[in-house]
Homo-oligomer: A and B are copies of this chain.
């Protein structure tokens, strides 16, 4: 009797996947209408912003294709997505989906499933990937990740396109960055393509969690942690590569109401330094920022502008790269961002913006150091047009005020008639939400 009941329940949750697919296909059919509408609108808009057309082919001259990763000789077996095992959540384990996608906040809700891949050198290397219900991790209290910050992560997003299809953005870039961070942390490397295949499977299983709105998306958080239960500060012989998914709205609560953020620029705090790991997405770059962020909040400011050096170079803002659009000494419009000199996280949004802007060729684009005294002077001369942060979580985050040396600098980012940061955001989100076809967008089947 109980056995029979159990089988029935099993059948239901085994077939849940197909059921979801069926519902999805229906939704796609419906949304083909909205796709056509969106594309028509796009065509009309193009005629007005013809200067900044999106080219479907990316000129390789403008992008840096990530180099293939070199694995350590003693790494052992690599994992393959084809070896994956899937254990679906029982109906009791399924979570309620949020009612309103637009009030999700950031990283508070998680989907029904997760991806896990263990690495044990003693067992020959990487083990088989598994998708399981979202569940707690169990680890020894001496696990390296809990003591020495042997951990790194990535931030990606899955977007529900106007055609109902789910897309991810330049995943090869995240994989390359993740492997570089692994090497820097004494953690095992892996084949990025295989991991993306695993992630795609996870996304496909939890596809109903990808919000049906452009105001939200499904945040993907791949994480790699060292779990050896030993207290020596050393490379990891055991590790866990996993990913959780979280439907997210807008990252920042802004103070001004118009979406712009205010910043604390205090030169007494430093985020990164030469010979450190500021250019790797390692957990160790984040804990030291929390208290400084609290100080900013206590002063009524939303984010920290990280300065470096005696000349107070602008490096990053919060967890974002920073861009300035201004009139240069030659009287030309120029987009400038700090160079990848080891102090800067090599942002994928940053790289995409640089490539797009260079391909547009409508204003100067430069990777170069710029300082707070320069910002002050440009403001005084009316030559600073826009300042904004960029990243996966926020796409583009305009800045309207900097508190620097106890003075408020007001930035006219939101006062421009045709602001470049909006153009950039629209172009990127058009690619991400499938309004235009683009090689940077990868459709999840």
Residues in A lying within 8 Å of B, measured CB to CB: 105-108, 110, 114, 134-143, 145-151, 153, 183-186, 219, 221, 223, 225, 229-235, 242, 244, 246, 267-270, 273-277, 282-291, 293-294, 319
Contacts and interface: CB of A to CB of B under 8 A. Distances in A.
B153 A141 contact: no
Contacts of A142: 107, 110, 221, 244, 246
16 contacts: A105-B232, A106-B231, A106-B232, A107-B230, A108-B230, A146-B151, A149-B282, A184-B291, A185-B288, A185-B290, A186-B290, A186-B291, A219-B231, A233-B319, A268-B275, A270-B275
Contacts of A273: 270, 273, 276
Nearest to A270: B275
Given A106-B232, A184-B291, 5 more contacts: A146-B225, A149-B287, A221-B231, A233-B290, A269-B275
A326 to B, nearest CB: 27
Nearest to A286: B148
A98 to B, nearest CB: 15
B291 A223 contact: no
A174 to B, nearest CB: 15
A149 B270 contact: no
Determine which residue in A149, A276, A283 has the highest number of CB atoms from chain B within 10 A of its CB, and name it: A149
Given A147-B153, A186-B294, A234-B293, A287 B283 contact: yes
Contact of A223 (B147, B244, B270, B275): B147
Contacts of A148: 283, 286-287, 290
B289 A233 contact: yes
B138 A138 contact: yes
Contacts of A232: 105-108
Contact of A147 (B137, B221, B289): B221
A135 B141 CA distance: 7
Nearest to A268: B275
A227 to B, nearest CB: 10
List of 8 A-B pairs having minimum Cβ-Cβ separation, nearest first: A107-B231, A270-B275, A284-B284, A149-B149, A148-B286, A149-B283, A273-B273, A186-B290
A287 B181 CA distance: 11
Contacts of A267: 275
A288 B274 CA distance: 12
Determine which residue in A141, A153, A235, A293 has the highest number of CB atoms from chain B within 10 A of its CB, and name it: A141
| Copies of this chain present | 2
Contacts of A183: 291
Contacts of A153: 147
Contacts of A108: 230-232
A360 to B, nearest CB: 33
Contacts of A223: 141, 146-147
A235 B289 contact: no
B151 A287 contact: yes
A114 B140 CA distance: 11
A289 B110 CA distance: 33
Contact of A283 (B137, B147, B246, B275): B147
Contacts of A284: 149, 283-288
Contacts of A288: 184-185, 276-277, 282, 284
A145 B105 CA distance: 20
A232 B294 CA distance: 13
A211 B234 CA distance: 25
A219 B142 CA distance: 12
Contacts of A287: 148-151, 185-186, 277, 282-284
A275 B306 CA distance: 11
A230 B242 CA distance: 16
Given A147-B151, A233-B319, A290-B233, A139 B141 contact: no
Contacts of A143: 137
A275 B265 CA distance: 13
Contacts of A283: 146-149, 284, 287
Contacts of A141: 114, 134-137, 223, 242, 244
A149 B148 CA distance: 8
A219 B231 CA distance: 10
